[in-house]
Amino acid sequence: MRALFAFIAGGTFGTGLVVSGMTDTTKVQGWLDIFGDWDPTLAFVLGGAVVPMFFAWRYTDGRLPRLGGKFPAPPEPKLDHNLVLGSLIFGLGWGLAGLCPGPAIASLSYGGFGGGVFLIAMIAGMLAAPPARRWLDAVAGSS
């Protein structure tokens, strides 16, 4: 059952990514190009997604997930260098190619050779993150 609902959630997520335009790199780059011919559609995508989730979070109060377990605890409100630097690095890559992780996976079936190369490079980057984090922590700790 858990796998079935995960499949449905993944499918709905992917469909939303395609429909919204998040898998079209030229659109995404237009949405991020605030210094050029800026297109504000990204705010509509994010706004449209945040509204159902806002109500979902409120519904979790005093309840448990339908298939058992617990709802994820609120993360520690720790705003550290990894969060800030990591997000900046991610944003640079996102703007450069126009793909973030969800759309990179969702477009696998039609993204062609380049799409596959992006996904492999992204996975390589993910594998490089733990040593990068240790290095950043050491630099931050010694300063």
Partner 1 sequence: MYQDWIWGLVGGGLIGIAAALYLLVNGRILGASGILGGLVDGTERAHSKERLAFLAGLVLVPVSVVPFYSSVDTHLTPNLAVVIFAGLLVGVGTRLANGCTSGHGVCGISRLAPRGMVATVFYLLGGGASLLLFKHVLGVI
Is 64 a residue that touches partner 1 (CB under 8 A)?
yes
Residues whose CB falls within 8 Å of the CB of residue 81, separated by 6 or more in sequence, listed in order:
136, 140
Is 139 a residue that touches partner 1 (CB under 8 A)?
no
The answer to whether residues 70 and 64 touch, using CB atoms and an 8 Å cutoff, is: yes
Size of residue set near partner 1 by CB under 8 A: 116
User: Minimal distance in Å, beta carbon 62 to partner 1?
Assistant: 13
Structure tokens at 7: 């499949």
Work out which of 61, 75, 142, 143 binds partner 1, going by CB under 8 A.
75
Work out which of 57, 138, 139, 140 binds partner 1, going by CB under 8 A.
57
Is 121 a residue that touches partner 1 (CB under 8 A)?
yes
User: Minimal distance in Å, beta carbon 141 to partner 1?
Assistant: 16
Work out which of 61, 110, 141, 142 binds partner 1, going by CB under 8 A.
110
Nearer to partner 1, 92 or 143 (CB): 92
Q: How many CB atoms lie within 10 A of CB 105?
A: 18
Residue 130 CA to residue 132 CA, distance in Å, equals 5
Is 135 a residue that touches partner 1 (CB under 8 A)?
no
Is 140 a residue that touches partner 1 (CB under 8 A)?
no
Residue 18 CA to residue 6 CA, distance in Å, equals 18
The backbone region for 63, taken as left when phi is positive above 0, alpha when psi lies in -120 to 50, beta otherwise, is beta
Q: Rule CB under 8 A: which of 7-36 touch partner 1?
A: 7-27, 29, 32-36
- Token pair 């079935």 is found at 4
